[in-house]
Structure formats: structure tokens, C-alpha cells
A and B are shown apart, each in its own frame.
Chain A
Amino acid sequence: MSVSASSYDKKSKNSLQNGEGNSVQSQSVWRSIIADRQKLQTIVTLLVLLLMIIVFSFFNPRFLTLSNFQNLARNTAPLIIAASAMTAVMIARGLDLSVGSVLAACSVVAASLAVKGVPLPLAFLAALAFGAFIGFLNGAIIVKMRVSPIIVTLGSLNIARGIAYLITPSAILVGLPPNWSTLGTTKIGPFPMPILIAAVVALVYSWASQKTKFGKHVYAVGGNEEAARLSGVPVERTLISLYVLSGMMAALAGIVLSTRVGSGDPNIGVGFELEVIAAVIIGGTSLSGGEGRIMGTVIGAIIVGVLSNGLNLSGVEPFWQYVAQGMVLIAAVVVDKRVNEGVLRIGRRRPRAA
């Protein structure tokens, strides 16, 4: 990726220097953008996001304010964290439906420990470990027993939600220490803490997916599992690691979310997995694995966040927001399919000679 991006830069510099080659150069640059599914998809989603921002700011002047953007950033942070992890899982052709429940279970774990007087860092670490543990179970069962990830994580979705209620039978925990909300509500400069954490997660995931052997293995496993196995890629270890990370990132999202709202609530995160998957798919990750980028997902997550934030501000009833989100998701998949087919047609150079 980085190499093609730098050659793109070089090309545009060249074309600026010698004016005559300009149109030819830019034409080829355009062609390379059109032919590269990923780039095209990123551009399309960015345009959609821009359009949404314009439309919402037109409907409500409060949309384009710093405080609303800070609010938006705080709300979108858990989504970006969990969706970054989900992107890697889905690139490897997996799926993790349990993230919403794991988020709830882990935040309840952290909150109940905090109520008992356990120092916050330790409580948070315990929550992360618990999330990683559920992720490990997901991955191990999927890989070793060869069960479909949908089934396994649908099961653990229920299990984790059950655990959350078992820990706190009487709904919301009381007696949280006063510093509980620090993480979720502080700001560094104009930036709320949650979005900074999310940015770090997304950057690390993005770097790892492009610049490490592990990242290459993730793409290989999703693109052609058999080829990866025959090349000596540790397919099983790669997949299990991805689910462990997904569980851990769901836990982190849970910590961020519950410290922001200032409670330990077993009811949070219902339907969160669908928002996460929507963000990943809107961001251009291929449903059939092997393709996708973290930065696309970040844009996808922002689109999901802007959609609900914007609809809220425009006074649309919350129930309609579900409808809108569902439609955006379906539209994204349809666009994904179209773009894919279009590029395939361009990419196939030799039509079979008749």
C-alpha cells in the first residue's frame, strides 16, 4: 500500500514539473484510482461522509460546533475501537457477533471490582483479560472444532450477556469510586480522551495490518486459506489471535463507554455488534475476506456516528434511526458489490478470444 501511495505522489509531482505530460499522467493516475477497488471505495465513503455533514449542518446549525464534534467523538470512540478489531477478523474471513455482550460483561466486571475497592487500573486490566479470555474461547472453538464463526459467537453473545446480568442482578451498580469517570470524560486540549484512545487503537491496527508479517498473514488467511496453509502460514494461530484481540478491544470499548456514562450497566451495548459490522462494511471490507483497510473502517464508524448524531439533532425519533442505519448498511453492501464487479471488468485484460 505504502509503496503504491508514494509512487502516486511521485507521479503527481512529475506531472506538475513538466506540464505537457500533465494530462496523460493524471489520466493514468485516475485510471489507477478507478482500478484500485480500495482507493475508490475510500473516496466514495469519504464523499458520502462529507455529504452527510453538509446536509446535517444545513438542517441544524448546532451540528457544526466544537462541542457537538467533541460529543460525536466521544460517542464514536467505542465503535472505532471495536470496529478496528472486527475489521481484522473480517479480513481473515471471520466474524465476531459477541462484541456487544462482551463489552457489557467486561464493563460490569471492571465496575464491580471498582465498587469492591480494587484500584481502577487493576479493574480495567481484569476486564481486558476477561474480554481476551472470551475471545480465546471463540477462536479456539471456531478453529479447532471447525464450527462456523456465526454460530459460535452467537452463542457467546448470549453467554456474555448472561454473565453481565449474573454479576449485577439488580441492574445498575451503585457505589462507584469518584475517579471512575475520569477516563471517559477528561480532555487533552480539545480532544476527549476516548477518541484519543480510539485513534491509538486504529493507528496500531492499521500499522500492524500493513507493516507486519502478522498483518500479511491476516490478508492471506482471508484471501485464500488453503494457499496460506500450504505456504506455511500458521493459520490457526493467526485466527485465534484475531478473536482474542477482538474480545480485548470489545472490553476496551466497554471501559471507555462505561467510564463516559459513569456507570456499570449490564444493559449497555445491545445491538452494538451490528453497528460495528456496519462500520466495517461501510468502510469497504470485503464480506468474502482478504480485503479491507482499517482507515476505511474508521470512516465507516464516523459515518455511523454522524448518522445517529445528525438525526438526533434534526429531531428525528430514535426508532427511525434504526431504520436509517439499516438502510445505510444495505446501501453500502450494494455499492460494494457494484464497485467490485465494475473493477473486475476493468481488471480483466483479455476477454476470451472467440
Chain B
Amino acid sequence: MSSIDLAEPAPRTETGQPVLQAFGLSKQFPGVRALAGVDFDLMRGEVHCLIGENGAGKSTFVKILAGATQPDSGEILVRGVKAEMAGPRDAKELGLAFIFQELSVVDGLTVAENIVLGSEPGARGRFDAQSATATARKILLGIGFDTLDPDMRVGRLSTAEKQAVMIAKALCANADVIVMDEPTSPLEEQEVRQLFQVIATLKQQGKAIIYVSHKMREIEEIGDRVTVFKDGAKVATLNRAEATPRELIRLMVGRDLGDIFPAKDRQPGREVLKVSGLSGARIRDIDLSVRAGEIVGVAGLVGAGRTELLRSIFGADEVVHGEVSVDGELVPANSVRGAIRSGIGLVPEERRGQGIVGVLSVFDNVLLPWQEFPDSRRDNGEPEIVARQAVESMNVKTPSIRQRISLLSGGNQQKVVVGKWLTMKTRVLLLDEPTRGIDIGAKREIYKLIHDLAKSGLAILLVSSELPEVLGLCDRILVLNNGYAVGELPGSASEADVIELSMLHGGQS
């Protein structure tokens, strides 16, 4: 194993030469242009931030660097030499290290064992524990984590300490490009400070860092340059001085909404859904109300508690405090069956995994709740007729209602998932990412259906990571941050308003 001299900064081969470059990287997924001709460069001793909305292309870019995804075109140069990233091991050999949110440490091994894993010291198969401990101690000292005991099992460490182990591991493998994907989201404020100090140390050692983040404050604080992604393309690369939050938000947004959304000509009636003081594992003390004929959006970053809010209302995630009522009647807590009987329907986040039963027919899928809750049926007719009506009213395109649902397109599957709640006396519809993975034409149709359902008197609560969707459909928008409702905006708000509210206003309570 190569030794790392931490006493003096690593030799800087001309500070001006990029250690990593990308030219015209493109990647097409079925129906989505994930990355379009992205150019990028990274200098030694630099922290280069990547920012962009969900789906803007940051993750695809990082995955290509890691060798987890292959680009359709374009090339990557590492230290000026063209690099082929056929798999994760290539990236490692080229000196690229990745610290993802899902930390790849081995809980059962010690800190030292994790750091040297894959390049253990010792002759003839023996594991030289002393030398491993010494190496680990030296590297940890170098990044200011000398309080971490190298012989401690990693499973007992905090997330921040596990991150430090990952960073030390990267240094042990002699990486000179370290990619960090939202490293601070699981950290407390004080741990963030410590991480930033480690990053400063790494910079001094001549390491280059790609830092993916949503948080403006962090980018302002540690970024030397910022590259903004939007819709799979690089919008701009800014220097520290130019990268003000306002400017970054302006660059991230500013897209043509078009007229794929129906006009908001609904007349909200009386209150149907009322949620007061709802608290659970990931949500805190949330109040909200939705009237008949109203669509209320729930916005926030990934992990803000949006899905958990819907699932808690539906009784699928545990509620610790608070109550939910529909039309003034209390919904039994922590009971999905109770929620359904009270007139609540959920269209869950993952259509394939949670929304449909793939091996069953359209008929069986659409009648799942209908057959289970005879007392809550909207219509007591023949099953055949009820199913046909639901399918027709949702405009599902299928050769027969006996068709296996997994053979339909994503958009039509989703319409069946919504349709099953129309066979019931549903008053409240909870929609979680209703258009995820659906092509743009079908999206438009689903927007129209959602609008029509609201117009017919349903109360709708909608979660979406796509801000244009929230703004285009909703009458009001509730913004969540770290489990708290941090504010409410009218449907006429701008994307910048929503982003500002969900990012700028403290993550901590």
C-alpha cells in the first residue's frame, strides 16, 4: 500500500491542470433525456459544487463518473488521459472515490479494518492488525478525526463518523478526486462544521472535490465553483463570487411551463380533510385542511417528510400524536382499513411496487378495495359493470379488463390505481408522485383527470418532486422541511418562492 505523507501537502502538479474533465457527456433513458452534452472540469485543490432540481441530471453525471452507468456519447479524461469507466473498480483504480448517502461501510469490521479493506497490510495472507491500526490512526489524524478509535466497530459509530471512515478509506486508496453526494443531509449542525474542516484539509492536500448539494448556504460557504444543471444540461459554471443564492435559483428554474395544465377553474366547497397536530417518525405537528374541489400540493426536498405525511394520514405509517378527520368524522388512527372506510384513498409513490399487483388483471386490480369493503362501495352493481365503469371513466386504454395489468403502459397502470378509489365512496384522494415515470403525453392526461376529480368534489392532496406540476395543478402549496410544515404558498407562487422556502429556511428546528 502506498504511504500517504500527511505532513506536507501532496505535490501540486501545476495548480492549473484539471484532474478530471468531461466532454459532451450524454445519456438517454427510455423517454427521458437524462444528460445532454455536458462539459465539465475539475481542478486540484478545488471544491466544485453541483446543483440542480431533482432529475436535473446531477445523479446521472455522478453515476457515469462512478462507472455505474455508461454514457451514450462523450468522454472522460482523468489527469489528461482518456478513461473508460466500465465498472466501479475502474473508477477506484483511477483515483476516484465516492461518498454516497448510502454509506458503503462494513458494520461488522473495525474502523481500521474498513479503512484498509481491499488493500490490507501484512505478508503471506496474514492480516497485520497493528500496521492497519497505525495507518488508520495516521490518516484519521490527518483529517482531524484522531478521537476516533481505530479498533472500534463501525456499526457503533454515528453517521458523521462513518463518513469520516469513508473519507479516510478514500485517502488510504490514494484517491485524488472525492465525490460527495449530499453529505450533510444526515448530519447535525456541529457535525457539518467538522466535515467542512475535513474538506478544507483535503483541499490543502491537493485533493479535488465534487460536492453535490441542495443547500445554498453550504455552497456559498465551501464552493470554489458551482455548476448548475437543468433538464439534463449544464446551464452554467459560476465562480464563488457570482454564485449568489438568487442567481443560482434563477438558473435552476426559468423553464417553459407550457399549457399542459388545465385552467384552475374549480370552486372549492366546504372542508373535507382536516389534519391537526399530526406527528410520526418523520413528520412533526402538521396541520392542514383540504376542501372539496380543492387540490393542495405538498412540496419539499427529498426526505422532508412528504411521503410520510400522506402515509400517516392513510394509516400506513405510525402516527404518534394528532388526528385526521374526514367530513368532520374522526378517522381511526394507524389503520389503513379505517382510513379506507372513512373515504380516504392513496395512490402510492411506487406504482409497480405499491400501486398495482402486477400478476393480476386490470379487473382484479381495480376491484381490490371494492371487493374487500362492501359497506364503503359507491355502487353495488355487478363487479363486471363496476370495473368497466371505473376503467372507462379513467379512460384506461386496455384491450380487455381481463388483461394482465403489468402489460399496460405506466400511464394506464396509474389510471387503474386512481380508478380503484372511484369504485368507493372516496372523499379524499392522496396522490404521491402520480406522474413519476410516465411520459409527457400521459402526464397531461393525468393532470386533466386529477383536475376533473377535484371538480367533481373530491379533496386532493398531492405530493410531487416536480415543482411545475405542483404549481400548475394546485390551489395551495404546503412546504415541508425536515418534517415540519414551514409555510404555505398560494397556487400562483413561483418556483423560486417554493425552492427558497424549502431550502433556505433552516433545516434544523
Q: Which A residues lie at the B interface, using CB under 8 A?
A: 2-4, 7, 35-36, 211-216, 219-220, 222-224, 226-233, 290-291, 347, 349-350, 353-354
Partner of A212, one of B125, B153, B169: B125
Give Cα distance in the complex from A220 to B508, angstroms.
Answer: 35
Give Cα distance in the complex from A44 to B59, angstroms.
Answer: 47
The number of inter-chain residue pairs (CB within 8 angstroms) is 83
Give Cα distance in the complex from A154 to B151, angstroms.
Answer: 39
Give Cα distance in the complex from A10 to B113, angstroms.
Answer: 23
By a CB distance below 8 angstroms, the chain B residues around A213 are 120, 122, 125-127
By a CB distance below 8 angstroms, the chain A residues around B107 are 223-224, 290
User: B125 near A233 (CB under 8 angstroms)?
Assistant: no
By a CB distance below 8 angstroms, the chain A residues around B119 are 231-232
The 3 closest A-B pairs by CB, nearest first: A231-B118, A232-B118, A227-B104
User: B108 near A349 (CB under 8 angstroms)?
Assistant: no
Q: What's the minimum C-beta distance from B421 to chain A, rounded to whole angstroms?
A: 33
Which residues in window 251-281 of B have CB below 8 A to A? none
By a CB distance below 8 angstroms, the chain A residues around B155 are 347
User: B151 near A4 (CB under 8 angstroms)?
Assistant: yes
| B109, CB-defined interface residue at 8 Å | yes
Enumerate 15 A-B pairs (CB-CB under 8 Å) in ascending A order: A213-B122, A213-B125, A213-B127, A216-B120, A220-B109, A222-B108, A224-B104, A227-B104, A229-B89, A231-B173, A233-B118, A349-B158, A353-B188, A353-B508, A353-B509
User: A350 near B117 (CB under 8 angstroms)?
Assistant: no
Question: With A229-B88, A232-B118, A350-B188 as given contacts, are A211 and B106 in contact (CB-CB < 8 Å)?
Answer: no
Q: What's the minimum C-beta distance from B152 to chain A, rounded to whole angstroms?
A: 9
| B129, CB-defined interface residue at 8 Å | yes
User: A354 near B509 (CB under 8 angstroms)?
Assistant: yes
Task: List 13 other contacts, CB 8 Å, given A216-B120, A231-B92, A231-B118.
Answer: A3-B129, A211-B127, A212-B127, A213-B120, A213-B122, A223-B108, A227-B105, A229-B88, A229-B89, A290-B106, A350-B158, A353-B188, A354-B284
Which residue of chain B has the shortest Cβ distance to A290 in the bound complex?
B108
Main SS of the interface on chain B?
Answer: loop
By a CB distance below 8 angstroms, the chain B residues around A3 are 129, 133, 151
Which residue of chain A has the shortest Cβ distance to B93 in the bound complex?
A232
| B250, CB-defined interface residue at 8 Å | no
Question: With A4-B151, A223-B107, A232-B92 as given contacts, are A216 and B156 in contact (CB-CB < 8 Å)?
Answer: no
By a CB distance below 8 angstroms, the chain A residues around B104 are 224, 226-227, 230
Give Cα distance in the complex from A231 to B126, angstroms.
Answer: 18
By a CB distance below 8 angstroms, the chain B residues around A232 are 89, 92, 118-119
Main SS of the interface on chain A?
Answer: helix
By a CB distance below 8 angstroms, the chain A residues around B169 are 231
Give Cα distance in the complex from A290 to B127, angstroms.
Answer: 18
User: A230 near B105 (CB under 8 angstroms)?
Assistant: no
By a CB distance below 8 angstroms, the chain B residues around A291 are 108
Q: What's the minimum C-beta distance from A171 to chain B, rounded to whole angstroms?
A: 44
The number of chain B residues with a CB under 8 A from chain A is 31
Most B CB contacts (10 A, CB to CB) among A212, A216, A229 go to A216
Which residue of chain A has the shortest Cβ distance to B102 in the bound complex?
A226
User: A211 near B126 (CB under 8 angstroms)?
Assistant: yes
Q: What's the minimum C-beta distance from B164 to chain A, rounded to whole angstroms?
A: 15
By a CB distance below 8 angstroms, the chain A residues around B120 are 213, 216
By a CB distance below 8 angstroms, the chain A residues around B88 are 229-230
| Binary per-residue interface labels of chain B (43-65) against chain A in the complex, 1 for a CB within 8 Å, 0 otherwise | 00000000000000000000000
By a CB distance below 8 angstroms, the chain B residues around A36 are 153
Give Cα distance in the complex from A290 to B92, angstroms.
Answer: 24
Give Cα distance in the complex from A14 to B84, angstroms.
Answer: 57
Which residue of chain B has the shortest Cβ distance to A215 in the bound complex?
B127
Q: What's the minimum C-beta distance from B203 to chain A, rounded to whole angstroms?
A: 24
Partner of A35, one of B89, B117, B122, B156: B156
Give Cα distance in the complex from A214 to B117, angstroms.
Answer: 11
By a CB distance below 8 angstroms, the chain A residues around B129 are 2-3, 211
Q: What's the minimum C-beta distance from B288 to chain A, rounded to whole angstroms?
A: 19
Which residues in window 54-104 of B have CB below 8 A to A? 88-89, 92, 104
Give Cα distance in the complex from A226 to B120, angstroms.
Answer: 18
Question: With A3-B133, A223-B107, A354-B509 as given contacts, are A230 and B113 in contact (CB-CB < 8 Å)?
Answer: no
Question: With A215-B127, A229-B88, A231-B169 as given contacts, are A347 and B117 in contact (CB-CB < 8 Å)?
Answer: no
Give Cα distance in the complex from A75 to B129, angstroms.
Answer: 37
Q: What's the minimum C-beta distance from B174 to chain A, rounded to whole angstroms?
A: 12
Give Cα distance in the complex from A324 to B333, angstroms.
Answer: 42
Give Cα distance in the complex from A71 to B153, angstroms.
Answer: 40
Most A CB contacts (10 A, CB to CB) among B151, B153, B169 go to B153
By a CB distance below 8 angstroms, the chain B residues around A354 are 284, 509
By a CB distance below 8 angstroms, the chain B residues around A353 are 188, 508-509
Q: What's the minimum C-beta distance from B286 to chain A, rounded to whole angstroms?
A: 13
Give Cα distance in the complex from A309 to B133, angstroms.
Answer: 45
Give Cα distance in the complex from A148 to B106, angstroms.
Answer: 22
Which residue of chain A has the shortest Cβ distance to B484 in the bound complex?
A354
User: A228 near B106 (CB under 8 angstroms)?
Assistant: yes
User: A223 near B92 (CB under 8 angstroms)?
Assistant: no
| Binary per-residue interface labels of chain B (158-196) against chain A in the complex, 1 for a CB within 8 Å, 0 otherwise | 100000000001000100000000000000100000000
Which residue of chain B has the shortest Cβ distance to A354 in the bound complex?
B284
Q: What's the minimum C-beta distance from B280 to chain A, rounded to whole angstroms?
A: 11
Give Cα distance in the complex from A259 to B351, angstroms.
Answer: 60
Q: What's the minimum C-beta distance from B279 to chain A, rounded to whole angstroms?
A: 9
User: B117 near A220 (CB under 8 angstroms)?
Assistant: yes
By a CB distance below 8 angstroms, the chain B residues around A222 are 108
Give Cα distance in the complex from A229 to B118, angstroms.
Answer: 8
Most B CB contacts (10 A, CB to CB) among A213, A219, A223 go to A213
By a CB distance below 8 angstroms, the chain A residues around B117 are 216, 220, 227-228, 231, 233
Partner of A219, one of B106, B122, B126: B106
Q: What's the minimum C-beta distance from A287 to chain B, rounded to whole angstroms?
A: 13
Question: With A4-B151, A220-B106, A224-B104 as given contacts, are A214 and B284 in contact (CB-CB < 8 Å)?
Answer: no
By a CB distance below 8 angstroms, the chain A residues around B127 are 211-213, 215-216
User: A223 near B125 (CB under 8 angstroms)?
Assistant: no
Give Cα distance in the complex from A232 to B89, angstroms.
Answer: 7
Which residue of chain A has the shortest Cβ distance to B91 in the bound complex?
A230
By a CB distance below 8 angstroms, the chain B residues around A35 are 156
By a CB distance below 8 angstroms, the chain A residues around B151 are 3-4, 7
Which residue of chain A has the shortest Cβ distance to B97 in the bound complex?
A230
Q: What's the minimum C-beta distance from B73 to chain A, rounded to whole angstroms?
A: 26
Give Cα distance in the complex from A349 to B156, angstroms.
Answer: 9
By a CB distance below 8 angstroms, the chain A residues around B105 are 224, 227
Give Cα distance in the complex from A232 to B196, angstroms.
Answer: 28
By a CB distance below 8 angstroms, the chain A residues around B89 are 229-230, 232
Q: What's the minimum C-beta distance from B389 to chain A, rounded to whole angstroms?
A: 44
Q: What's the minimum C-beta distance from A294 to chain B, rounded to whole angstroms?
A: 14
By a CB distance below 8 angstroms, the chain B residues around A228 are 106, 117-118
User: B118 near A224 (CB under 8 angstroms)?
Assistant: no
By a CB distance below 8 angstroms, the chain B residues around A229 are 88-89
Give Cα distance in the complex from A224 to B88, angstroms.
Answer: 15
Give Cα distance in the complex from A216 to B158, angstroms.
Answer: 22
Q: What's the minimum C-beta distance from B148 to chain A, rounded to whole angstroms?
A: 13
Give Cα distance in the complex from A353 to B105, angstroms.
Answer: 24
By a CB distance below 8 angstroms, the chain B residues around A2 are 129
User: B156 near A219 (CB under 8 angstroms)?
Assistant: no
Most A CB contacts (10 A, CB to CB) among B106, B122, B173 go to B106
Which residue of chain A has the shortest Cβ distance to B508 in the bound complex?
A353
Give Cα distance in the complex from A232 to B155, angstroms.
Answer: 21
Most B CB contacts (10 A, CB to CB) among A35, A36, A212, A230 go to A230
By a CB distance below 8 angstroms, the chain A residues around B284 are 354
By a CB distance below 8 angstroms, the chain A residues around B188 are 350, 353
By a CB distance below 8 angstroms, the chain B residues around A290 are 106-108
